[in-house]
Amino acid sequence: MTAALAWSDAVTAAQLFAIDPVGTGGVLVRSRAGPVRDRWVTILRAALPISQPLKHLPLHIADGRLLGGLDLNATLLAGRPVAERGLLAEADGGVLMVAMAERLPSAAAVHITAAMDAREMIVERDGLSLRMPARFGVIALDEGLDDEFAPGSLGDRLGFHVDLNDIPIREAGEFAMDRAAISAARERLSTLRTNEKQAEAMCTAAAALGIVSLRAPMLALRVACASAALSAHDEVDQDDIALAARLVLAPRALVFPQEQEPEHPEQPQEQPPSESADNDKADTDNPDLDRALDEVILAAVQAALPPDVLAALRGSSMRSRGRSQGKAGALQKSNKRGRPAGVSRGELRGGAKLNVIETLRAAAPWQPLRRREAAASGETSRPRILIRKDDFRISRFKQRTETTTIFVVDASGSAALHRLAEAKGAVELLLADCYIRRDQVALIAFRGSAAELLLPPTRSLARAKRSLAGLPGGGGTPLAAGLDAAFALSDSIRRKGQTPTVIVLTDGRANIARDGSQGRPRAEEDAINAARQLRMADITTVLVDTSPRPGASGGALAKEMGARYLTMPHADATTLSKAVLASMA
């Protein structure tokens, strides 16, 4: 699909959305800020009615402003609870524009999708009970990079998915929107309905494309009605269904539809020359006459998919889109620093921070009752606002802790020596990534009869290279000692408020016990006990089996450890580092 055709589809999506914002759900615009996106937004605004509200959603909007509730200023002035409408209720009958949708907090995404499903806001908070209509469409501007995406729950409810990143400005031509035609299409929309055959064909095509959500074909049928209304059709025809499939199903396609060939092809019967010529002429005039509607839909979707996407879909049955890994550390609650995570009732101690606004909001509904109580008790002098201990609201924060990756390397014997170069390369690759992730890396080697901490937690690449350069090898396999050392280091890291991740590179064949004595049965029992210790501590662990022929010992050890088991007898440094990052995601 060319850039000019992609831009034409994007403009068509804007027109159809303007006709039925609530029914089509909205538009997910995958585009970084730039002139192409600005021009598309300008075209969309020109298509929307002037009287229709267009509300912008701030990224970190408070729940009270989003949902509605108590109007604090009006309540304090009036001396009685006064309710205010939230942003979602204010967008009723219009459009809600969400900028930087890839960073939309999960709580805000839940509130938006719940309002889209119920088409009303039900608020039970601050001593108020509110029920307000909230019928709106959503324009989600997704500015994320390759591994950053808007919440899937929100994208599933938006009928159109538009990607403007690959469209140059020279291909983004101006389109004059006819508000009168769009207004007439809005009035005509209520008279159009799809039939059962069209709905069945759309669902069949969605299933063939690997789309499991039922919202996709439902939204496509609404788009088909909007297309028929815009084209002034008396009913939804095949062209409207094909256009809807192209705009709604194509961006969601997960698999490439397989063509089904008949098992027993029928031999064509001989016809008289005159009849054969007439049939050929009829087939030429109506090429889609005998084609099933679902085949027409699949053909329209296939025409809208770029060639590189088709190649990727042929090679893989599913396409996974993971969010950016970012920090891998665990989230911890705090009352001192971090990102805001709401408020809670509490006391002013231990460095807790008082949220003045929420404290006043909690006290406001009780002011009339407290004034009457104060007057009945004979108090003559009292403050303007009566606040009690139960009204105190403490700000809560959350922050992601720093992560330390601990490599536990089996340096015993000739087979383990072959893995040391790979371990060195993996540690160096992870250290390079640590400059971005702000993580640390440590290295523990076990050989002979004990384990040794060769590299304490650090981000220094030069220090890591110096420590790894002189790593010796040979001797027995004190696997239990290595796991005990990893547990001790992980425990100390946790005490500092950080998150440990343990990566064990071994063949799992222990032959040295904890006390240094030789004997495989005792050594394996000690190794299993040490592995269980890591599992009971709930430490994220990955076991890489370095044996040329992985056996049952490595898998059994990983099971006792609660670790992710990777069988990589010929893994290189790059593969090991990728496995580590995947396990930490």
Residues 360 and 505 in one domain: no
Residue-level pLDDT at 580 = 63
Task: Check residues 204 and 146 and name the one with the higher pLDDT.
Answer: 204
Mean pLDDT of 542-562: 81
Residue-level pLDDT at 389 = 81
Residues 199 and 230 in one domain: yes
Residues 249 and 125 in one domain: no
Number of neighbours of residue 388 by Cβ within 10 angstroms: 10
Q: What is the CATH number of the domain that holds 446?
A: 3.40.50.410
Residue-level pLDDT at 229 = 92
Q: What is the CATH number of the domain that holds 71?
A: 3.40.50.300
Q: What is the pLDDT of residues 426-436, one digit of tens each?
A: 667 776 776 66
Asked whether the predicted pLDDT for residue 327 surpasses 70, the reply is no
> Any idea which of 197-206, 319-328, 433-442, 469-478 has the lowest mean pLDDT?
319-328
Classify residue 268: in a domain, yes or no: no
Tokens read off for 317: 């049955």
Q: What is the CATH number of the domain that holds 229?
A: 1.10.8.80
C-alpha to C-alpha distances, 430 to 147, 211, 496, nearest whole angstrom: 19, 36, 21
Residue-level pLDDT at 501 = 87
Asked whether the predicted pLDDT for residue 323 surpasses 50, the reply is no
Reduced 3-state DSSP string for 171-194: CCCCCCCCHHHHHHHHHHHCCCCC
Asked whether the predicted pLDDT for residue 365 surpasses 90, the reply is no
Number of neighbours of residue 65 by Cβ within 10 angstroms: 16
Among residues 350, 370, 399, the one where a domain terminates is: 399
Task: Check residues 496 and 342 and name the one with the higher pLDDT.
Answer: 496
Task: Check residues 59 and 551 and name the one with the higher pLDDT.
Answer: 59
Residue-level pLDDT at 364 = 81
pLDDT band at 314; cut points 50, 70, 90: very low
Classify residue 185: in a domain, yes or no: no
Average pLDDT, the chain: 79
Residues 232 and 162 in one domain: no
Classify residue 393: in a domain, yes or no: yes
Residues 502 and 578 in one domain: yes
- What separation, in Å, do the N-terminal and C-terminal C-alpha atoms of the chain show? 34
* DSSP state for residue 374 in the 8-state scheme: H
pLDDT band at 217; cut points 50, 70, 90: very high
Residue-level pLDDT at 284 = 45
| Residue 532 structural domain | 402-584
Residues 71 and 205 in one domain: no
Residues 312 and 338 in one domain: no
Nearest one of 397, 465, 431, 387 to 581, comparing CA atoms:
431
Residue-level pLDDT at 341 = 67
Classify residue 373: in a domain, yes or no: yes
Residues 36 and 124 in one domain: yes
Residue-level pLDDT at 581 = 65
Handedness of CA 162, 165, 171, 175 (dihedral sign): positive
Residue-level pLDDT at 288 = 45
Q: What is the pLDDT of residues 463-507, one digit of tens each?
A: 767 776 666 667 778 888 999 999 999 999 888 878 888 888 887
Tokens read off for 302: 């296939």
For 142-170, letters b (16+ CB in 10 Å) and e give bbbeeebbbbeebbbbbbbbbbbeebeee
Distance between CA atoms of residues 304 and 9, nearest Å: 9
Which regions of 462-583 does DSSP assign to beta strands (E)?
499-506, 540-545, 564-567
Percentage of residues of the chain with pLDDT beyond 70: 75
Residue-level pLDDT at 20 = 93
Classify residue 282: in a domain, yes or no: no
Residue-level pLDDT at 122 = 85
Classify residue 104: in a domain, yes or no: yes
Classify residue 17: in a domain, yes or no: yes
Residue-level pLDDT at 222 = 94
Q: What is the pLDDT of residues 232-271, one digit of tens each?
A: 999 999 889 989 988 998 888 887 666 554 444 445 555 5
Asked whether the predicted pLDDT for residue 140 surpasses 80, the reply is yes
Among residues 342, 374, 399, the one where a domain terminates is: 399
Among residues 150, 177, 204, the one where a domain terminates is: 177
Which phi and psi (to 5°) does residue 379 adopt? -75, 130
> Any idea which of 35-44, 106-115, 303-312, 551-560 has the lowest mean pLDDT?
303-312
> Any idea which of 16-20, 139-143, 394-398, 426-430 has the lowest mean pLDDT?
426-430
Residue 237: CA count within 13 A, CB half-sphere:
9
Task: Check residues 29 and 364 and name the one with the higher pLDDT.
Answer: 29
Handedness of CA 305, 307, 308, 311 (dihedral sign): positive
Classify residue 285: in a domain, yes or no: no
Mean pLDDT of 513-527: 86
Residues 417 and 379 in one domain: no
Spatial neighbors of 12 by CB under 8 A, at least 6 apart, are 243, 247
Mean pLDDT of 122-130: 77
Residues 419 and 473 in one domain: yes
- Write down the pTM of the prediction: 0.60
Residues 384 and 407 in one domain: no
Residue-level pLDDT at 326 = 40
Number of independent structural domains in the chain: 4
Residues 111 and 227 in one domain: no
Distance between CA atoms of residues 334 and 396, nearest Å: 6
Mean pLDDT of 45-57: 89
Q: What is the pLDDT of residues 174-200, one digit of tens each?
A: 888 888 899 999 999 999 999 999 999
Mean pLDDT of 423-446: 73
